[in-house]
Amino acid sequence: MNKVIEDLGGIKTGKHPVDYQYTLDTVAGELEIRVDEDSQHCFTMFCKFKDVERAKNKFDCNPYSGKYNVHIGAVKEITVDKAIEICTIHLERALPQTA
């Protein structure tokens, strides 16, 4: 997942689990991202917009904290690759559109 984030323009900023791992420039400003792929029960991509006011008007994020997380439960049909694909789509929705 980290390579996907970097390919989308994410910049490495910290080390998990202490900090968010990446920031990504989006249409609603900076998005902080941390990925937890190690859980046997849930694949989670934690995301949080820094500019909550701007983000809540564009995305279905938490209107108070700016959280824009993706939680994918451990379902037999959902492989890690599929979870990454779902998270990628989630991030791509926030990217500035290029012509």
List, for residues 3-46, the tens digit of each pLDDT value.
888 999 999 987 766 567 899 999 999 999 988 766 666 678 89
Model confidence at 58: pLDDT above 50: yes
- Burial class, 70, CB count within 10 angstroms (exposed 0-12 / middle 13-18 / buried 19+): middle
What is the overall mean pLDDT for the chain? Answer: 85
pLDDT recorded at residue 40: 63
The C-alpha atoms of residue 29 and residue 7 are separated, in whole angstroms, by: 18
Per-domain residue ranges of the chain: 2-92
pTM for the structure as a whole: 0.83
Quick one: tokens of 35? 């990925």
- Residue 82 pLDDT class (50, 70, 90 cuts): confident
